[in-house]
Amino acid sequence: MAENLVNPGPGGRRVYVALGDSFTEGVGDYNPRLPNGVRGWADRVAEKLAKAEPGWEYANLAIRSKRLRHVIAEQLQPALAMEPTLVTLYAGGNDILDFGTDVDALMKDYETLVATLAASGATVVLFTGFDVKVSALLEPLKRRNAIYNQRVREVAARYEAVLVDYWCFDAFHDPRMWDTDRLHMSKAGHRYLAGRVLDQLGVPHKITPKEWDPPARQGLLDWERRQRRWVHDWVLPLFGRKLRGVTLGDQLSPRWPDPIRVPRKGLKKLVRG
């Protein structure tokens, strides 16, 4: 366990603000009782922070499908107004999936965003992106992802941010760590990532990797059937939304838009009626 890197602000304030897209909103870790119907790794991190040191407040401004420009325009100033002591940021993954993205321009904007967050005095946590091997259809994006990851590592070092090098986590080679769309983590994936974030911050927790039997071998016919279903259910709708210029997050609001005091028994305590 690393040394605890999360220092309180003036007066002992502890405020965690999560920024980004579906990765941080919690898509794949479904829970109908929580806002937007998901939980996610950031909620889990907030709960463990509060368990280790009562008094933590938490806001999650992330919304699925948001591009980096949306995070800057819609989430940055509200986050700074909360005077956070801890900020997590993952943004740019959706831009990489877009046709014609200028990766150099994207990463310049990313660095400007990180510099602004770091100047606030908060501990900033950044993430590389995982090299998801879902299909040859997405292989042309591999080079973009590699450039993105290298630049994130450089930016993290330059601004003394905490780096969660998601790309290196071998556990995510198991398909059971992914949702049925193969692009978002499953509940097990979100839980595992929460543990790795807490490790990097030096926060005690009891999250342990899920123990599974080896994946069952697939026959060729079963593999083809699964591929057809995945293309029909996820790939074609994804490209259809891109062509129409709409996203799954267009009608959604942030899950936790204002800092809330995290109960010792967890965030689900706040929504039980």
- Cα separation of 253 and 176, whole Å? 29
- Cα separation of 125 and 104, whole Å? 21
pLDDT of amino acid 147: 92
Instruction: Specify burial of residue 117 (Cβ count, 10 A radius: 0-12, 13-18, 19+).
Output: buried
**DSSP bridge pairs for 19:** 89
pLDDT of amino acid 135: 53
pLDDT of amino acid 273: 47
pTM confidence score: 0.89
Taking only the tens of pLDDT, the chain with its 273 residues reads: 566 767 777 778 899 999 999 999 999 999 999 999 999 999 999 999 999 999 999 999 999 999 999 999 999 999 999 999 999 999 999 999 888 899 999 999 999 999 999 999 999 999 999 875 545 555 667 788 889 999 999 999 999 999 999 988 988 988 899 988 878 999 999 999 999 999 999 999 999 887 777 777 777 777 677 777 777 666 777 777 777 777 777 889 999 999 999 998 889 878 764
pLDDT of amino acid 105: 97
pLDDT of amino acid 132: 59
- Residue 163 gets which letter from DSSP? E
- The CATH class, in words, for 10-209+252-267 is alpha beta
**DSSP bridge pairs for 127:** 164
What residues have CB less than 8 Å from 71, skipping those under 6 apart?
Answer: 19, 20, 21, 89, 91, 113
**DSSP bridge pairs for 86:** 16, 123
- Cα separation of 200 and 163, whole Å? 8
